[in-house]
Amino acid sequence: MTPAQTVHVGIQDGVSIPITPEEFAWFTTFLRGRTGIELKDGKQALVMSRLDRRLRHHSAASYKEYFALISGGRGEEARIALDLMTTNETYFFREPQHFEMLPRLLPSVAGQRPLRVWSAASSSGEEAYSIALTLAEHDPSGLWEVFGSDLSHRIVDTAARGLYPIEAAQRVPGHLRTAYCLRGRGEHEGFFTFDAGLRSRVTFRQLNLTRPLPDLGTFDVVFLRNILIYFSSDTKRQVVDRVATTLRPGGYLLTSHAETLMGLETTLESFAPSVYRRREQV
Protein backbone atom coordinates (compact mmCIF):
# COMPACT_ATOMS: atom_id res chain seq x y z
CA MET A 1 0.00 0.00 0.00
CA THR A 2 1.28 3.50 -0.79
CA PRO A 3 1.26 6.12 2.05
CA ALA A 4 -1.64 7.83 0.27
CA GLN A 5 -3.75 4.72 0.71
CA THR A 6 -3.06 4.33 4.44
CA VAL A 7 -5.43 5.74 7.06
CA HIS A 8 -4.43 6.26 10.66
CA VAL A 9 -6.33 4.02 13.05
CA GLY A 10 -9.24 5.96 14.50
CA ILE A 11 -9.04 8.75 11.92
CA GLN A 12 -11.85 8.07 9.54
CA ASP A 13 -14.18 10.55 7.92
CA GLY A 14 -16.87 11.78 10.27
CA VAL A 15 -15.44 10.04 13.33
CA SER A 16 -14.18 12.40 16.01
CA ILE A 17 -11.14 11.37 17.95
CA PRO A 18 -12.11 11.35 21.63
CA ILE A 19 -10.38 13.64 24.11
CA THR A 20 -9.54 12.27 27.55
CA PRO A 21 -10.01 14.37 30.72
CA GLU A 22 -6.23 14.67 31.04
CA GLU A 23 -5.84 15.86 27.44
CA PHE A 24 -8.69 18.35 27.85
CA ALA A 25 -6.92 19.76 30.93
CA TRP A 26 -3.72 20.32 28.88
CA PHE A 27 -5.65 22.26 26.24
CA THR A 28 -7.52 24.41 28.78
CA THR A 29 -4.25 25.24 30.56
CA PHE A 30 -2.61 26.07 27.21
CA LEU A 31 -5.50 28.34 26.19
CA ARG A 32 -5.66 30.06 29.58
CA GLY A 33 -1.91 30.68 29.62
CA ARG A 34 -1.87 32.21 26.14
CA THR A 35 -5.14 34.13 26.07
CA GLY A 36 -6.73 34.29 29.52
CA ILE A 37 -9.74 32.42 28.12
CA GLU A 38 -11.30 29.90 30.52
CA LEU A 39 -12.71 26.75 28.93
CA LYS A 40 -15.19 25.34 31.39
CA ASP A 41 -15.62 21.63 31.96
CA GLY A 42 -18.19 20.41 29.48
CA LYS A 43 -16.51 22.19 26.55
CA GLN A 44 -14.77 19.01 25.41
CA ALA A 45 -17.10 18.75 22.42
CA LEU A 46 -16.22 22.30 21.41
CA VAL A 47 -12.49 21.57 21.48
CA MET A 48 -13.03 18.39 19.50
CA SER A 49 -15.22 20.05 16.88
CA ARG A 50 -12.67 22.83 16.37
CA LEU A 51 -9.45 20.80 16.41
CA ASP A 52 -10.50 17.49 14.87
CA ARG A 53 -9.50 18.66 11.40
CA ARG A 54 -6.03 19.67 12.60
CA LEU A 55 -5.47 16.22 14.08
CA ARG A 56 -6.45 14.70 10.75
CA HIS A 57 -4.24 17.18 8.91
CA HIS A 58 -1.23 16.03 10.95
CA SER A 59 -2.35 12.39 11.03
CA ALA A 60 -2.30 12.59 14.82
CA ALA A 61 -4.10 9.64 16.39
CA SER A 62 -4.81 11.35 19.72
CA TYR A 63 -5.01 14.77 21.35
CA LYS A 64 -1.85 13.86 23.22
CA GLU A 65 -0.02 13.49 19.91
CA TYR A 66 -1.42 16.77 18.60
CA PHE A 67 -0.65 18.58 21.85
CA ALA A 68 3.01 17.62 21.46
CA LEU A 69 2.98 19.66 18.22
CA ILE A 70 1.76 22.85 19.87
CA SER A 71 2.85 22.70 23.51
CA GLY A 72 6.44 23.73 22.86
CA GLY A 73 5.37 26.75 21.45
CA ARG A 74 5.50 29.71 19.39
CA GLY A 75 5.15 27.81 16.13
CA GLU A 76 2.56 28.19 13.41
CA GLU A 77 0.51 25.21 14.64
CA ALA A 78 0.18 26.71 18.14
CA ARG A 79 -1.15 29.86 16.50
CA ILE A 80 -3.62 27.90 14.38
CA ALA A 81 -4.86 25.96 17.42
CA LEU A 82 -5.38 29.18 19.41
CA ASP A 83 -7.23 30.76 16.49
CA LEU A 84 -9.51 27.75 16.26
CA MET A 85 -10.23 27.63 19.99
CA THR A 86 -11.20 31.30 20.28
CA THR A 87 -14.64 32.59 19.36
CA ASN A 88 -14.58 35.36 16.76
CA GLU A 89 -18.30 35.93 16.33
CA THR A 90 -19.08 39.54 15.47
CA TYR A 91 -21.18 41.60 13.07
CA PHE A 92 -21.75 45.18 11.99
CA PHE A 93 -23.59 47.43 14.47
CA ARG A 94 -23.81 44.68 17.09
CA GLU A 95 -25.61 46.12 20.14
CA PRO A 96 -26.69 49.23 18.25
CA GLN A 97 -27.35 51.32 21.37
CA HIS A 98 -23.60 51.87 21.72
CA PHE A 99 -23.37 53.33 18.23
CA GLU A 100 -26.35 55.60 18.88
CA MET A 101 -24.65 56.77 22.06
CA LEU A 102 -21.10 57.15 20.72
CA PRO A 103 -21.37 60.70 19.27
CA ARG A 104 -22.68 61.93 22.64
CA LEU A 105 -19.67 60.47 24.47
CA LEU A 106 -17.11 62.35 22.41
CA PRO A 107 -15.66 65.58 23.73
CA SER A 108 -15.45 68.63 21.51
CA VAL A 109 -11.75 68.87 20.84
CA ALA A 110 -12.14 69.91 17.23
CA GLY A 111 -8.91 70.98 15.61
CA GLN A 112 -6.69 70.27 18.63
CA ARG A 113 -6.08 66.53 18.28
CA PRO A 114 -7.74 63.54 16.67
CA LEU A 115 -10.54 61.85 18.57
CA ARG A 116 -9.42 58.27 19.08
CA VAL A 117 -11.59 55.18 19.54
CA TRP A 118 -10.22 51.66 20.16
CA SER A 119 -12.00 48.43 19.31
CA ALA A 120 -9.96 46.35 21.76
CA ALA A 121 -11.10 42.85 20.72
CA SER A 122 -12.00 43.74 17.18
CA SER A 123 -12.24 40.24 15.71
CA SER A 124 -12.58 40.62 11.91
CA GLY A 125 -13.13 44.37 12.11
CA GLU A 126 -16.91 44.81 11.90
CA GLU A 127 -16.95 46.66 15.23
CA ALA A 128 -14.12 49.02 14.22
CA TYR A 129 -15.79 49.85 10.87
CA SER A 130 -19.15 50.35 12.60
CA ILE A 131 -17.43 52.90 14.85
CA ALA A 132 -15.83 54.56 11.82
CA LEU A 133 -19.17 54.73 9.98
CA THR A 134 -20.78 56.30 13.04
CA LEU A 135 -18.00 58.89 13.36
CA ALA A 136 -18.08 59.58 9.61
CA GLU A 137 -21.79 60.32 9.82
CA HIS A 138 -21.37 62.48 12.90
CA ASP A 139 -18.25 64.34 11.79
CA PRO A 140 -17.34 63.58 8.15
CA SER A 141 -14.40 66.01 7.90
CA GLY A 142 -13.30 66.04 11.53
CA LEU A 143 -10.08 64.75 13.00
CA TRP A 144 -10.75 61.23 14.24
CA GLU A 145 -9.31 57.76 13.95
CA VAL A 146 -10.23 54.20 14.89
CA PHE A 147 -7.78 51.58 16.09
CA GLY A 148 -8.68 47.89 16.17
CA SER A 149 -6.75 45.04 17.77
CA ASP A 150 -7.19 41.35 18.40
CA LEU A 151 -5.20 38.40 19.69
CA SER A 152 -5.47 36.51 16.42
CA HIS A 153 -3.04 37.41 13.64
CA ARG A 154 -5.30 35.73 11.09
CA ILE A 155 -8.37 37.70 12.10
CA VAL A 156 -6.41 40.97 12.22
CA ASP A 157 -5.31 40.35 8.62
CA THR A 158 -8.97 39.82 7.67
CA ALA A 159 -9.90 43.07 9.43
CA ALA A 160 -7.14 45.01 7.69
CA ARG A 161 -8.31 43.66 4.30
CA GLY A 162 -11.74 45.16 5.02
CA LEU A 163 -13.55 42.90 2.56
CA TYR A 164 -16.84 41.37 3.69
CA PRO A 165 -19.51 39.13 2.15
CA ILE A 166 -22.14 41.32 0.52
CA GLU A 167 -24.90 39.88 2.78
CA ALA A 168 -23.15 41.36 5.84
CA ALA A 169 -23.86 44.86 4.44
CA GLN A 170 -27.53 44.33 5.33
CA ARG A 171 -26.62 45.17 8.92
CA VAL A 172 -25.18 48.55 7.89
CA PRO A 173 -27.87 51.28 7.99
CA GLY A 174 -29.03 52.08 4.45
CA HIS A 175 -27.83 55.69 4.28
CA LEU A 176 -24.31 54.67 5.48
CA ARG A 177 -24.28 51.78 3.03
CA THR A 178 -25.05 54.19 0.19
CA ALA A 179 -22.48 56.73 1.33
CA TYR A 180 -19.51 54.50 2.24
CA CYS A 181 -19.87 50.91 0.99
CA LEU A 182 -18.48 49.76 -2.36
CA ARG A 183 -19.59 46.61 -4.13
CA GLY A 184 -16.73 44.31 -5.22
CA ARG A 185 -16.13 43.52 -8.89
CA GLY A 186 -14.25 40.74 -10.67
CA GLU A 187 -12.37 38.61 -8.13
CA HIS A 188 -14.20 40.52 -5.36
CA GLU A 189 -17.66 39.80 -6.73
CA GLY A 190 -19.96 38.90 -3.83
CA PHE A 191 -18.00 41.09 -1.39
CA PHE A 192 -18.06 44.73 -0.37
CA THR A 193 -15.59 47.14 1.18
CA PHE A 194 -15.56 50.76 2.36
CA ASP A 195 -14.41 53.84 0.50
CA ALA A 196 -10.72 54.63 0.75
CA GLY A 197 -11.26 57.77 2.85
CA LEU A 198 -13.05 55.80 5.55
CA ARG A 199 -10.60 52.90 5.44
CA SER A 200 -7.61 55.22 5.80
CA ARG A 201 -8.88 56.24 9.24
CA VAL A 202 -9.04 52.66 10.53
CA THR A 203 -5.91 50.70 11.45
CA PHE A 204 -5.42 47.26 13.00
CA ARG A 205 -2.71 45.52 14.97
CA GLN A 206 -2.32 42.19 16.72
CA LEU A 207 -2.37 42.61 20.53
CA ASN A 208 -2.86 40.29 23.48
CA LEU A 209 -4.79 42.10 26.20
CA THR A 210 -3.47 39.74 28.88
CA ARG A 211 0.08 40.98 28.28
CA PRO A 212 1.57 44.43 28.96
CA LEU A 213 0.47 46.82 26.24
CA PRO A 214 2.82 48.76 23.99
CA ASP A 215 2.45 52.53 23.97
CA LEU A 216 -0.85 53.06 22.17
CA GLY A 217 -1.41 56.71 23.09
CA THR A 218 -4.64 57.85 24.70
CA PHE A 219 -8.20 57.01 23.69
CA ASP A 220 -11.46 58.87 24.15
CA VAL A 221 -13.57 55.71 23.97
CA VAL A 222 -12.67 52.01 24.15
CA PHE A 223 -15.00 49.24 23.03
CA LEU A 224 -14.15 46.10 25.06
CA ARG A 225 -17.14 43.98 24.17
CA ASN A 226 -17.85 40.27 24.21
CA ILE A 227 -14.43 39.27 25.51
CA LEU A 228 -14.60 39.70 29.30
CA ILE A 229 -17.13 36.86 29.53
CA TYR A 230 -14.35 34.42 28.61
CA PHE A 231 -12.02 35.50 31.45
CA SER A 232 -11.73 34.57 35.14
CA SER A 233 -12.49 37.46 37.50
CA ASP A 234 -8.74 37.98 38.13
CA THR A 235 -7.92 38.17 34.42
CA LYS A 236 -10.95 40.39 33.84
CA ARG A 237 -9.73 42.81 36.52
CA GLN A 238 -6.20 42.90 35.05
CA VAL A 239 -7.43 43.43 31.49
CA VAL A 240 -9.90 46.16 32.50
CA ASP A 241 -7.23 47.96 34.56
CA ARG A 242 -4.73 47.72 31.72
CA VAL A 243 -7.19 48.97 29.10
CA ALA A 244 -8.47 51.73 31.40
CA THR A 245 -4.98 53.23 31.64
CA THR A 246 -5.19 54.07 27.93
CA LEU A 247 -8.33 56.19 28.46
CA ARG A 248 -8.02 59.90 28.93
CA PRO A 249 -9.56 61.03 32.25
CA GLY A 250 -13.29 61.35 31.54
CA GLY A 251 -13.06 58.86 28.64
CA TYR A 252 -15.44 55.91 28.26
CA LEU A 253 -15.17 52.13 28.27
CA LEU A 254 -18.00 50.12 26.69
CA THR A 255 -18.61 46.46 27.50
CA SER A 256 -21.28 44.21 26.06
CA HIS A 257 -24.67 44.34 27.76
CA ALA A 258 -24.02 40.76 28.90
CA GLU A 259 -20.87 41.81 30.76
CA THR A 260 -20.51 43.81 33.93
CA LEU A 261 -17.64 45.38 35.82
CA MET A 262 -19.65 45.27 39.05
CA GLY A 263 -17.47 44.24 41.96
CA LEU A 264 -14.25 45.28 40.22
CA GLU A 265 -12.54 48.14 41.97
CA THR A 266 -11.20 50.11 39.10
CA THR A 267 -10.49 53.62 38.03
CA LEU A 268 -13.85 53.56 36.27
CA GLU A 269 -17.31 54.59 37.40
CA SER A 270 -20.60 53.36 36.03
CA PHE A 271 -22.09 55.88 33.59
CA ALA A 272 -24.96 54.00 31.93
CA PRO A 273 -25.76 50.30 31.41
CA SER A 274 -22.54 48.72 30.00
CA VAL A 275 -20.87 52.16 29.76
CA TYR A 276 -18.12 53.15 32.22
CA ARG A 277 -16.28 56.42 32.58
CA ARG A 278 -12.70 56.93 33.70
CA ARG A 279 -12.67 59.13 36.79
CA GLU A 280 -11.20 62.60 36.27
CA GLN A 281 -9.13 62.26 39.46
CA VAL A 282 -7.54 58.86 39.90
Ligand X SMILES: C[S@@+](CC[C@H](N)C(=O)[O-])C[C@H]1O[C@@H](n2cnc3c(N)ncnc32)[C@H](O)[C@@H]1O
Cβ-based nearer residue to ligand X, 143 or 160: 160
Q: Measured from the CB of residue 152, what is the shortest distance to ligand X in angstroms?
A: 4
Cβ atoms < 10 Å from Cβ of 281: 5
Options 134, 193, 226, 274; binder of ligand X; rule CB under 6 A? 226
Cβ-based nearer residue to ligand X, 99 or 144: 99
Q: Measured from the CB of residue 272, what is the shortest distance to ligand X in angstroms?
A: 17
Q: Please check whether residue 255 is in contact with residue 274, taking contact to mean a CB–CB distance below 8 angstroms.
A: yes
Of 5-13, 35-43, 46-54, 157-165, which segment contacts ligand X by CB under 6 A?
Answer: 35-43
Q: How far apart are CA 218 and CA 76, in angstroms?
A: 33
- Beta strand 219-223 with 202-206 is unpaired
Q: Which residues contact 61 (CB under 8 A, 6 or more apart)?
A: 8, 9, 10, 11, 17, 55
Closest CA to 169 of 160, 178, 156: 178
Options 39, 117, 121, 135; binder of ligand X; rule CB under 6 A? 121
Of 34-42, 48-56, 176-184, 262-270, which segment contacts ligand X by CB under 6 A?
Answer: 34-42
Options 209, 222, 244, 247; binder of ligand X; rule CB under 6 A? 209
Q: How far apart are CA 54 and CA 57, in angstroms?
A: 5
85 φ/ψ angles, rounded to the nearest 5 degrees: -85, -10
Query: What are the strands of the beta sheet with 181-183, ordered from one edge?
Result: 164-165, 191-194, 181-183
The residue at minimum Cβ distance from ligand X is 90
- The alpha carbon of residue 20 and the mean position of all alpha carbons in its chain are separated, in whole angstroms, by 30
* 87 interacts with ligand X by CB under 6 A: yes
Options 89, 189, 215, 280; binder of ligand X; rule CB under 6 A? 89
* 246 interacts with ligand X by CB under 6 A: no
* 13 interacts with ligand X by CB under 6 A: no
Q: Measured from the CB of residue 94, what is the shortest distance to ligand X in angstroms?
A: 5
Write out the residues near ligand X by the rule CB under 6 A: 35-37, 86-90, 94, 121, 123, 127, 150-152, 155, 208-210, 225-227, 256
